[in-house]
Structure 1
Amino acid sequence: MLNLQPYENPMYFVYLLIGLVPVIIGMFHGRRHRIYESIFSLFFLVLIFDADKWPQGKALILYIAYNTLLVWLYAKYRTKENSSNKTWVFYMAVILGIAPLTVVKFTPLFSTHPSLLGFLGISYLTFKVVGMIMELRDGAIKEVNFVRFLQFLLFFPTISSGPIDRYRRFLKDYDSAPTPEKYTELFSKAIHYLMLGFLYKFILGYLFGTLLYPHYEHLALLAHGNFLGLSWPLVGVMYSYSMYLFFDFAGYSLFAVAISYLMGVETPMNFNKPFISYNIKDFWNRWHMSLSFWFRDYIYMRFVFFMMKHKWVKSRVVTAAIGYFVLFGIMGIWHGETWYYIVYGLFHALLINLTDAWIRFKKKHKDSLPSNKFTYALSVFLTFNTVCFSFLIFSGFLDKLWFH
C-alpha cells in the first residue's frame, strides 16, 4: 500500500479524484451514496495511516473507541432527570475528552519518544468531541446518532488539520444530498478552490517556504551578533516565513473545503483575506477561523461567563482581559510546550487587550481623532507587520538565533 499524506503528494489527488467520480455522479443526480462514501473514506484513512504510520492508525482506532464510549455515556446521562444540576459530571466528561490530547502534547517534556496515543489529526478530533460534549450540556444537541458521529469524526477531507466543523452543521449537510442546482454551484466553487489551493500551496508556498525562507535564514544566521541579530536578513526571515505559513496552510484548507464541497458538505472556510485586517481582533476573525471561533465559543466565552457568574472580578474590562490571556495562553500551549509558542499566544493576548483599550479610547474621542482612508491603510499596515512579527516568534527561529 502507498503511504500518502493528505494533499501533499500529487498521487494523492489522482486517487482522490478517481474515487470521487461515483460520488460526483450521484450528487449531480441528487443522491448521496453513504455506503460508498464510508468505504471511500476508510480507504483514504488506510492510505494515510498505512506502512510506517500504522502505529498512529492503531492509536486512532483506540481514540475513536474511547471517545465513542465517552460521548455515548454522557449523552445517556443527559437524558436522566436533574442531570443538568450535576456540573461535576460535565467537567469530568470534558477532562476525559481532552485527556488523550493532553498526554500527547506534554509527553515530549518527559520523554524523547512521541506518545503512543498520538496520531495525525488528534487535536482536530478532540475539538470536535469536546464541542459535542459542551453542546450536549447546553441542550443544543438533543441526541447523538452514533453512525453519524463516526462519519462526523472520520470525515477524511478535514481529519488531519481541519477546518473544524460542528456536529449539527455537518449533519444538516450530510443527512441529505444537495439539489442538482445547488451541487452545480458547489462543484464550481470546489474546482475554483482546488486551483487556488494549488497556486497557494505548491507555487507560492514553495516560493516562500523552500526558496526564500532558507535563503534569508542562512543570511540571518551569518549576521548573528549584528545588533543581537536584528538585521535585514532577519526581516526577510519574518516576511518569508509569514507568507509561507499562510499560503501553505490556506492552500491545504482550500483543498479540504473543495473535497468537502465535492462530497456535498459545505465545510466552513478557514481564511478570509487575513492580511487586510485593520486590527488584531479583525485578524482573528479572518485567520484560521474555524479554530479561532472554536476557542472563542468553547473557551473564552465560557470562561468569562464563569468568572462573571462567580463574581471573581467586578470590572467587565478586567474580566475580558483575563479571559484573553487564558484563551491565548491555552492556544499557545496547544501549539507546543516551547517558550516561543507560549510567548506567541501571550503576545496576541496583549495585542487584543491593547486593541480593546484603543477602541474604548476612540469612542471617547471620536470627534477629535481622524478617520479616513489614510488612517485605515495605516492600521492595515501596522496590523500586518505586527502579525508578521508574531509569526517570527512562532517560527522558533529566534530560539535558534539567540539561544543555540
Structure 2
Amino acid sequence: MSFFSGEYFYIVFTVVLLGALIMGLLEKPLKWYNIITSALFVVLVLKGNISSLIYFGAFLSIELFFVKTYEAIRKKGRVLWRYRVFVFLTILPLILCKLCEINTLKEMGWFQFIGISYLTFRVVQIIIEMYDGVIESISVSNFIAFLIFFPTFSCGPIDRSRRFDTDLTKVYKRNEYLENFGIGLQKFIFGLLYKFVLADLAYKAMLELMAPTVLQEIGYAYTYGIYMFFDFAGYSLMAVGTGYMLGIKVPDNFNKPFISKDMKDFWARWHISLSEWFRDFIFTRFIIASRKKKRFKTRLQTASVGFIINMTVMGIWHGLGLNYIVYGLYHGVLLALTEIYQKKSKFYKKNKKKKWYGVLSWAVTMNLVMFGFLIFSGHLF
C-alpha cells in the first residue's frame, strides 16, 4: 500500500473521508480524528517494510525529544551556538539517510523511510522559529499531528506549524466545513486527472523519445518536464484537496509554472512550499548575515552568492547524485544571472514591459527550465 495509489488505499481513504464529513456536518473537532487516521495510514503504508516503520518511530521520538528539549533551553535565553547544535541534531537523521544513498554505505540503511526529507523540514522550521521567538512552545499532540498528517506525509506540500495548528484546533461551522470540503473535492479530482491521465500520457510520450539523437533528446527533455509537472502537481493537488476535506487548508504547491517570464518567476510558481521554505530559512538568513558581517562589497554580489548557495543546497536535499547537485547549481547560477541582468541591464529596463519582450523572455525561460529537467532526470549522466 502507498499513499494515493492502489485499490486498498482508496477503500480506507473513502471510509476516512466519510467519517470526516459526518464529523464536519455535526460541527465536531477533527484534531484527534486526523491524528488517529493519519497514524493508521502511516502504519499501513510503512508496515510492508518493518525497518522503515521502526526508523520512522525512532525519528518521531528523537525529533520530539529535540524540539521539547530546545523549547526548555530556549526559555533560558537566545544562544546562537545552542540553536545551531539543535538544528544540526534535527537534520542528522536526514544526513544519515542521504549518506546511505552512497554505494559503499547502502547496506546500513539508516532512516530509510518515505517522507523523511519533508518531515525534517517541518521540524527544522519549528526549531528556527523557536530561536526567533515566534514559537514559544508546541504541544506534543500538535507536533505529532503536524508530522504524521497523512496527505502530506511523503511528498508535501511543506506546511508551516503555526498555520497548521490554527486549522487543526479549529472547529468549523457546518457551512464553512462544507465549503472547504467542496473546494477540497474539486482539487482532488483535478489531481486525479493530472496524475493518472495527463502524467501517464506524458510518460508514454517520454518513453518513445529515449533514443540518443539531438531532436529526441530535446523531445525527451520537454516530455519529461511535462510529465514531472502533471505527476507531482497532481499528487500535490490530491494532498491539498484531502487536507481541505479534513479541515486543514494545506497550501497550494504549483501556480501555472509554464507561463513564467523568468527564472525567479518560475521558482515563485514551481514547488512553491519548498522554494518558499528555502527562501525564508536559508536564502534570507544568508543575506541578512552577510550584510551584517559585510562579506561582499555590494548587495547584488550578496544576492547572487545567496542564490547559488540556496539552490545548491536544494539540489543536495533531493539527493547526493551528481544530477541533483548539478541541477541545484544550475538553477542557482541562472537565478544569480537573472538578478544581475535585471538590476544592471538597460536593455531589460527599457523593454521589460513590451509584449514582444515578454514572449521572448518566456521562450528563453522555458528552454532553460526544460534543460534543467533534463539534468534532473539523470539522462545526461
TM-score by length of 1: 0.91
1:381 paired residue number = 363
Q: What is the RMSD computed on CA atoms of the aligned residues?
A: 1.5
CA distance in 1, matches of 2:174, 2:226: 38
2:89 paired residue number = 96
- 1:63 counterpart letter in structure 2: F
The answer to whether structure 1 residue 9 and structure 2 residue 6 are counterparts is yes
CA distance in 2, matches of 1:255, 1:167: 20
8 Å CA contact 1:108, 1:114 repeated in 2: no
Cα deviation 1:60-79 (Å, max 9, x = unaligned): 00000101000000000111
Within a 5 Å distance, the mapping from 1:211-290 to structure 2 comes to 211-217=204-210, 219-220=211-212, 223=213, 231-290=214-273
Within a 5 Å distance, the mapping from 1:1-400 to structure 2 comes to 4-51=1-48, 53-80=49-76, 83-84=77-78, 86-109=79-102, 110-113=104-107, 115-209=109-203, 211-217=204-210, 219-220=211-212, 223=213, 231-362=214-345, 364=346, 368-369=350-351, 371-399=353-381
> How many Å apart are 1:368 and its aligned residue?
4.2
Tell me how many residue pairs correspond in the alignment.
Answer: 380
- 1:8 counterpart letter in structure 2: S
CA distance in 2, matches of 1:37, 1:368: 53
> How many Å apart are 1:365 and its aligned residue?
5.2
> How many Å apart are 1:193 and its aligned residue?
1.0
User: Greater CA deviation, 179-188 or 193-202?
Assistant: 179-188
Cα deviation 1:117-147 (Å, max 9, x = unaligned): 2211000110000000000000110111111
CA distance in 1, matches of 2:223, 2:357: 26
8 Å CA contact 1:23, 1:32 repeated in 2: no
> How many Å apart are 1:366 and its aligned residue?
6.5
Residue 176 of structure 2 aligns to a residue in which SS?
Answer: helix
CA distance in 2, matches of 1:158, 1:297: 20
8 Å CA contact 1:55, 1:116 repeated in 2: no
- 2:171 counterpart letter in structure 1: A
User: Greater CA deviation, 324-333 or 112-121?
Assistant: 112-121
CA distance in 1, matches of 2:50, 2:158: 24
Describe the shift of the 1:379–1:123 C-alpha distance in structure 2 as closer, same or farther (beyond 3 A): same
8 Å CA contact 2:159, 2:273 repeated in 1: yes
- 1:376 counterpart letter in structure 2: G
> How many Å apart are 1:373 and its aligned residue?
2.2
- 1:389 counterpart letter in structure 2: F
Q: 5+ residue gaps in structure 2? A: none
Moved over 4 A (4+): 364-368
- 1:73 counterpart letter in structure 2: T
User: Greater CA deviation, 309-318 or 292-301?
Assistant: 309-318
Describe the shift of the 1:37–1:365 C-alpha distance in structure 2 as closer, same or farther (beyond 3 A): closer
Q: 5+ residue gaps in structure 1? A: 224-230, 400-404
TM-score by length of 2: 0.96
> How many Å apart are 1:114 and its aligned residue?
5.8
Sequence identity percentage? 37
Describe the shift of the 1:302–1:46 C-alpha distance in structure 2 as closer, same or farther (beyond 3 A): same
